[in-house]
Chains A and B, each alone.
Chain A
Amino acid sequence: MLERDADIVVIGSGAGGGTVARELAPLCAQGLRIVVLEAGPKLRPDEFTGREVEMARRLYTDEGGFLTADRSMSIAFGRAYGGSTVVYTGTSLTITEPTVRRWGVPGLEHADLMGRSRKYLAQNHVHLLPDADVNDNNRLFERGCRRLGYRVEQFPLNLDGCRGAGLCNLGCPNGAKMGTHRVQLPEAERQGVTVVTGCRADRIEERAVVASVSEQAAGEPSAWAPGQYRIRAKAVVAAAGAIGSPALLLRSPVSAGLPALGRYFTCHPALILAGQHDRPITNYHGHPKSYYCDHFAGSDGFLLETCMYFPFTTAKSLAGFGAEHARMMSAMDRLQMILVLAIDPPDADNRVMVDAGGRPLVRYRFTDGVRRSLVQAMRASARIFFAAGAARVHAPASRRFFIEVADANQIDELIPFDGLRLGKVTISSAHPMGGCRMGTDSARSVTDAWGRVHGVPWLFVADGSLFPRCAEINPYVTIMALADRVAERVRAEWPHLQAHTP
């Protein structure tokens, strides 16, 4: 095993790790050695090809199809220099005050999170798309919502130089998405932080990280040669995501005495509906996600967003097979799509675990409330499609493959509650949260309000696993705000942290 020394090791380079790296980077000028360990590759610009399967393999864990233990749901999360910020759609919402109140973490205030969030909205060039760049898929959603009286808002997006490739979830081929790979990490490296790609953290020991560097099929060569490393550090920040960080801690001796580790996992379970129009519309040209509807968030526990996916993802998301399925797929330029997301409750038994080989495992049980929300969301989406002029709708839990416009008055009967059959309907998630949740009680939380792991003063967590409950919005800006707090705490504690001599 190769031995290395660092002052601070950050594990993960996404919204959390990239933020921490950037915020701690000024310490390099004082001689600190800060290393970021990233399991995925750093792709070259020409490696963003936009080819669906190729990019899914390059940028996602399990090609975007990480399955829960009972195979009911797949979870998509990035594995790259920039983490999931390379593959998300860039929607940049800030957490609401009622949500922070529901989180109920003493010492965590909405005003503080908002101040930090605004910093990242500015850094990441967040703004609304100009009207000329909004495509039909998005306009029709807005039109349908307004006709039905549903509250609909435009998404602020973190883009600079967007040319509307519509390939956001496969990594932007134009380099226009302002994720940590474009904003925070390059600045951190400029100030002296070392980012080691192709480097998977195996476990955390007493003030040390054991990690393995392997060659990657794509991307720039890693800063370190392949092999196993033990990196001694005075402080360690785990930012490997809401599945990666709990799994890492569970593989590590530090997990002793943390009964809540891995628990209270939430993820905004989601599914896709498609409406078919009788004429071509602009849908995969232009940014895919310009609008959202939170009209039903409080009453029925779901959110609706515009979306546009690629051929395989679309095909997989439709229920059924054969002639009807092919008919829907035969003209992708006529499809309008809506993504529905359920606001799921924290449940101690929904948890991240590790198997005998140390690989992450997620156990997730759908509550009756979440199932009901998903069905209600499908019904609302069907109404939006028809209000927008769609000729027919496919809802994966429907009694029929197609709901024709002539049957629009039977939506509730055609999309029954028992139509949501797990294992048949494709349910996915791109918002894993929880598993190292914040709190004051070490029996029911893993870190304090500043991300420090209970009982382990040199170990911090800085990613979505901190969330005590789901964010009820797209989580990345909130992750950055929390990571900003963690970095502030590491800086404040540094005189004590650096006093430790291994």
Chain B
Amino acid sequence: MAALTGPQRDFLLAIAPRIVPASAQLRPAARDEMLALIEATLASRTPAMRRQLDLFLRVMRWLPFLRYLRPLDRLDGSRQDAALRWFQDHPVHVIRGGFWGVRALLLLGYYGQPANGPSIAYTPSTDGNAVLHARARR
């Protein structure tokens, strides 16, 4: 059974570009890979933690309705950012922590893909010393 429900996947995809702008340009296969990475991590967590995530995603989606009369995923970009910053900086620890968790999952989904390494100038080598020595000679 998938660790994410359909609505959860849709919501995460909707807010991913606010967290990682480059995720808006992901091709379908890379977007699927992003969700697969998130699901694999969630699958290894306890059912209680997955229930907490489900609850928090619902809170994230619907709490902005009180101010904007729309759920988070149907706001424009700047209002989404404002809402996300509100969660990030909330005076209540558990709210901040919940946002941190969702942010971490989306960062995992993007930056955890080895294929995205070159686009951020991350190209490790098993012989890193050869690179060091070559640059030193230049």
Q: Which residues of A does B touch, CB under 8 Å?
A: 50-53, 57, 62-63, 65, 70-72, 132-133, 135, 162-167, 173-174, 280, 282, 284-286, 310-312, 314-316, 320-323, 325-326, 329-334, 359, 421-424, 426
Residues of A within 8 A of B88 (CB): 320-321, 424
Contact A174-B131, Cβ < 8 Å, known A63-B44, A423-B94: no
Contact with A along B98-113 (1 / 0, CB 8 A): 0111011001101110
Contact in complex: B100, A424 (CB < 8 Å) = yes
> Which of B5-13, B61-69, B122-130 lies on the face that meets chain A?
B122-130
Contact in complex: B111, A312 (CB < 8 Å) = yes
Contact in complex: B132, A322 (CB < 8 Å) = no
Contact A426-B100, Cβ < 8 Å, known A52-B112, A312-B111: yes
Contact A164-B128, Cβ < 8 Å, known A321-B84, A321-B103, A424-B88: yes
Residues of A within 8 A of B128 (CB): 135, 163-166, 284-286
Contact A51-B114, Cβ < 8 Å, known A166-B128, A312-B108, A423-B100: yes
Contact in complex: B111, A164 (CB < 8 Å) = no
Contact in complex: A332, B121 (CB < 8 Å) = yes
How many whole Å from B12's CB to the nearest CB in chain A? 13
Residues of A within 8 A of B116 (CB): 311
Contact A164-B132, Cβ < 8 Å, known A50-B124, A331-B120: yes
Identify which of residues 7-30 in chain B touch chain A, using a CB-to-CB cut-off of 8 Å: 18-22
Contact in complex: B132, A359 (CB < 8 Å) = no
Residues of A within 8 A of B41 (CB): 63
Q: 22 A-B contacts, Cβ less than 8 Å apart?
A: A57-B40, A57-B44, A132-B133, A132-B136, A163-B128, A163-B130, A164-B130, A167-B124, A173-B126, A311-B116, A312-B107, A312-B108, A322-B18, A325-B20, A330-B120, A330-B121, A331-B121, A333-B121, A333-B122, A359-B46, A422-B97, A424-B100
Contact in complex: A423, B97 (CB < 8 Å) = yes
Contact in complex: A326, B21 (CB < 8 Å) = yes
